[in-house]
Structure 1
Amino acid sequence: MLQRPFTTTGRACAPAPLLLTLPGIDNSGPDHWQSLWERDQADFRRVDLGDWALPQRAQWVARLEAAIASASRPVILVAHSLGCHAAAWWSAQGSARTTCVAGALLVAPPDVEDAPIDARLCGFGPVARQRLAFPSLLVASRNDPYTRFGQARRMARIWGSQLIDAGPMGHINAASGLKDWPYGLFLLRRLIASITPAPTPLLADGAAAYFAQRQTPSGAPR
């Protein structure tokens, strides 16, 4: 269970981001870490991407655009599997709303090019070739049946994502036995901390100006 809202210590004045979860094919079930995070934290919202069983790239991208357009605060995308490619293709289309997305956690994106394990993935190929318009972490497993680690590294390089080696964790889903996946929560908090603006000091640079004004031309205090 999450212990506290997704705010950064000392930065309470900044609005908490809206965390949009993007599942993959067949949606994320009740034991998936995405579902558990949504259950335990009010700032998470699942995006209804449309047909989960027969995913259509254009539909998923359009649904994501609509979800971001309706957000009233900065957005962080929390994607798993094919949801990662939906995020990448959305960014690649050059939406004016890319500035609304502060960052993304991309977990276990599958291979959509080289004989994908599931034919339904082919509609999202090839891999979107544009660098993402926002900071991102790409988390990859060493024994993911849906992609080779080398291919995950290639996607991270193309998208400009920081690659996180999760070790042998399968497809990093409910079948991996992760429950609420504490390490994933750690990575998400780290991402949020890295993109949250530092708090402005009470006086900031104005303090120097104030005390300068308190000096006489000779430099003696008034």
Structure 2
Amino acid sequence: MTRFLLVPGRGVPFPNHWSRQWARAHRDYRWAPEPPGPPYVAEDRVAALQSAVAASAEPAILIAHSAGCLTVASWAGRFTGPVVAALLVTPPEVPDTPRQRLPFRSIVVVSRDDPHGSFGHGQQLAADWGGQLFDAGPVGHLDSSSGFGPWPDGERLVRTLAVPA
């Protein structure tokens, strides 16, 4: 059975955020860290992700939003585990973003008008991480303030990752 680990950004996702809706709708979705919330301390988030990944030998798909994408990339540079894929949604543009190729399949979702990262930056991260780029169009930061509670395209992308390559 595949595990699904939700890796939050720097803040607590609002109740109507797609990641919170997915966590409520799917019993096999877990937060890493549990519960999500501030402050964002990279080392703490990477350690929490490692703990969640190492908790089982079952394959895992990581679903990360915003700064959670950086947590995943940092984790992949330091640890290994039964991670088979990752959905990396609107990674922010920050200095010192990890850029090594990820050792698992990934889809990097990039917005055309994200206030936290340019489309070009997202394209470059997808290439650096060895991921498939998904152009989400003009969707802001793909969060509650951008109008995203339900996100059917994201659910479809997760299903794509759940099928072995």
TM range (shorter): over 0.9
8 Å CA contact 1:49–1:64 kept in 2: the answer is: no
TM-score computed with the length of structure 2 as normaliser: 0.94
* TM-align CA RMSD: 1.5
Match of 2:26 among 18, 21, 41: 41
Match of 2:138 among 162, 168, 184: 168
Match of 2:93 among 104, 111, 114: 111
Residue 71 of structure 1 aligns with an amino acid whose one-letter code is: S
Cα offset for 1:50? Answer: 8.0
Match of 1:201 in 2: none
Cα offset for 1:150? Answer: 0.3
Match of 1:87 in 2: 72
Match of 2:49 among 64, 84, 89: 64
Match of 2:119 among 140, 143, 149: 149
TM-score computed with the length of structure 1 as normaliser: 0.71
| 1:78 corresponds to 2:71 | no
8 Å CA contact 1:144–1:170 kept in 2: the answer is: yes
Residue 148 of structure 1 aligns with an amino acid whose one-letter code is: S
| 1:102 corresponds to 2:84 | yes
> Secondary structure of the residue that 1:175 maps to in structure 2?
helix
Cα offset for 1:48? Answer: 1.6
Cα offset for 1:51? Answer: 8.2
- Structure 2 CA distance for partners of 1:161 and 1:49, relative to 1, 3 Å: farther
Residue 105 of structure 1 aligns with an amino acid whose one-letter code is: L
Match of 1:132 in 2: 102
- Structure 2 CA distance for partners of 1:172 and 1:140, relative to 1, 3 Å: same
8 Å CA contact 1:49–1:60 kept in 2: the answer is: no
Q: Larger % of strand: which?
A: 2
- State the alpha-carbon separation in 1 of the partners of residues 12 and 36 from structure 2: 9
Counting matched residue pairs gives 165
8 Å CA contact 2:12–2:36 kept in 1: the answer is: no
Cα offset for 1:82? Answer: 0.2
- Work out which structure has the larger RCO, using CA pairs closer than 8 Å and 6 or more positions apart in sequence: 2
Identity of aligned residues (%): 39
Match of 1:54 in 2: 39
**What are the superposed Cα offsets for residues 117-166 of structure 1, whole Å, 9 maximum, x if unpaired?**
xxxxxxxxx01121001000000100000000000011111111100000
- State the alpha-carbon separation in 1 of the partners of residues 146 and 135 from structure 2: 15
- Structure 2 CA distance for partners of 1:51 and 1:74, relative to 1, 3 Å: closer
Residue 141 of structure 1 aligns with an amino acid whose one-letter code is: S
Residue 42 of structure 1 aligns with an amino acid whose one-letter code is: R
Cα offset for 1:174? Answer: 1.1
**What are the superposed Cα offsets for residues 89-139 of structure 1, whole Å, 9 maximum, x if unpaired?**
00011x242xx00100000000012xxxxxxxxxxxx01121001000000
